[in-house]
């Protein structure tokens, strides 16, 4: 029995070291193309470039990583490209908009991919979003918005702020008016300060803390409810906790699933599982790197809640298995934005 045990250990060592050697041989002297579904300067781009600088250290052979921005169609251009066109040799990876994994579930015909077949690699964070109003708005809690109409900003009728405004309005019977047309969240926030709108339905908590800390310390905004990753730091109720009806809870779970994907990184379908394992392990190691975490803190990026590729795939599979009535309702809410 002892001989068999020692033989097993030896074989395991040979397999592991052999796999590492093959990966090192493959990646040494190579270049990884890192496609980002957002433009330069976007927070996705900032994350991607920081990861691209530090990830080679954890990939055997230390390949060079080049970031390529591929914005367009709300991130769908890059996501469709990664699924249908990108090389499947382990030298192309991507970071896509966090809601896109669920666009096929919502009924978006432009989403030409099966999210369960992507090789999810990991995410540096999970996000939390809020419904906020400016401090001068005569609405102090969510219940007040059932009687007093709140005017919420959005970039377009199909944008994320508009989508969540419709979701929250539907689930909590709120009086909401959506004003689309703002070129950016910054522009919509400036308009909120001027009194041109009352607030926004989906700013990230991490972004508010990094970009508008004075709003929090000076109580310039009032958070009415929050959703996505739980955060006890937020002085507002958590959306799921307010919903007693099982179908409404399921609808909210589907709607906020993208926030759980954070800044999702993936490889195309069909990549050699051994190469996927190497990339997943490298990201998991990077997410614990003290220098990486220090740079995150300096850049005011949320890097405290990473997920690995297996967890991301499990999240995708769970949401796609949601009850049919909840899926139909969220699809109806989503398609309202596509029709305008």
For the domain made up of 24-125+262-321, the CATH class stated in words is alpha beta
Instruction: Over range 31-47, report the average pLDDT.
Output: 91
Q: Which of 29-38, 69-78, 91-100, 217-226 has the lowest mean pLDDT?
A: 69-78
Q: Specify the 3-state DSSP secondary structure of 338.
A: helix
Q: Where in the chain is the domain with CATH 3.40.190.150?
A: 24-125+262-321
Q: Which of 42-46, 104-108, 269-273 has the lowest mean pLDDT?
A: 42-46
| Helix or strand (DSSP H, E) at 47 | helix 43-54
Confidence of residue 37 (pLDDT cuts 50, 70, 90): very high
Confidence of residue 267 (pLDDT cuts 50, 70, 90): very high
pLDDT beyond 60 at 1: no
Instruction: Over range 59-70, report the average pLDDT.
Output: 96
Report the predicted TM-score, pTM, of the whole model to 2 decimal places.
0.85
Phi-psi region of 41 (alpha: psi -120 to 50; beta: other; left: phi over 0): left
Angle in degrees, CA 64, 115, 292, rounded to 5: 35
pLDDT of residue 302: 87
Residue bearing the bigger pLDDT, 210 or 213:
213
Q: Where in the chain is the domain with CATH 3.40.190.10?
A: 128-257
Confidence of residue 7 (pLDDT cuts 50, 70, 90): very low
Confidence of residue 4 (pLDDT cuts 50, 70, 90): very low
Which residue, among 112, 186, 119, has the nearest Cα to 153 in the 3D structure? 186
Confidence of residue 321 (pLDDT cuts 50, 70, 90): very high
pLDDT beyond 50 at 16: no
Instruction: Over range 219-224, report the average pLDDT.
Output: 98
Instruction: Over range 142-162, report the average pLDDT.
Output: 93
Instruction: Over range 286-291, report the average pLDDT.
Output: 97
Residue bearing the bigger pLDDT, 337 or 326:
326
Does domain 128-257 correspond to CATH entry 3.40.190.10? Answer: yes
What is the rounded distance in angstroms from the CA atom of residue 184 to the CA atom of residue 160? 12
């Amino acid at each position: 029995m002892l001989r068999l045990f020692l033989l097993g250990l030896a074989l395991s060592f040979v397999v592991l070291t052999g796999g590492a050697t093959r990966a090192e041989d493959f990646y040494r002297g190579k270049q990884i193309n890192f496609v980002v579904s957002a433009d330069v300067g976007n927070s996705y781009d900032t994350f991607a470039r920081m990861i691209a600088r530090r990830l080679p250290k954890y990939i055997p052979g230390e390949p060079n990583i080049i970031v390529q921005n591929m914005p367009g169609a709300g991130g769908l251009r890059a996501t469709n490209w990664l699924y249908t066109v990108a090389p499947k040799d382990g030298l192309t990876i991507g970071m896509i908009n966090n809601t896109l994994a669920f666009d096929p579930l919502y009924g978006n015909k432009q989403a030409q991919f099966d999210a369960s077949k992507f090789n999810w690699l990991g995410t540096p964070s999970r996000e939390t979003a809020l419904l906020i109003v400016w401090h001068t708005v005569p609405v102090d809690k969510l219940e007040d918005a059932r009687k007093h109409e709140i005017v919420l900003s959005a970039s377009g009728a199909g944008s994320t702020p508009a989508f969540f405004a419709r979701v929250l309005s539907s689930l909590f019977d709120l009086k909401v008016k959506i004003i689309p047309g703002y070129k950016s969240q910054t522009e919509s926030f400036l308009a909120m300060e001027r009194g041109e709108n009352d607030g926004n339905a989906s700013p990230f908590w991490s972004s508010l803390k990094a970009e508008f800390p004075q709003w929090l310390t000076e109580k310039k905004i009032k958070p009415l409810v929050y959703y996505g990753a739980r955060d006890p730091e937020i002085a507002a109720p958590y959306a799921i906790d307010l919903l007693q009806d099982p179908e409404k809870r399921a609808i909210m779970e589907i709607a906020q699933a993208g926030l759980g994907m954070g800044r999702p990184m993936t490889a195309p379908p069909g990549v050699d599982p051994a190469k996927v394992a190497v990339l997943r392990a490298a990201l998991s190691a990077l997410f614990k790197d003290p220098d990486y975490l220090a740079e995150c803190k300096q850049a005011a990026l949320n890097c405290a809640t990473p997920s690995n590729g297996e967890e991301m795939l499990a999240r995708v599979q769970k949401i796609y298995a949601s009850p049919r009535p909840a899926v139909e309702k969220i699809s109806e809410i989503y398609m309202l934005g596509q029709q305008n």
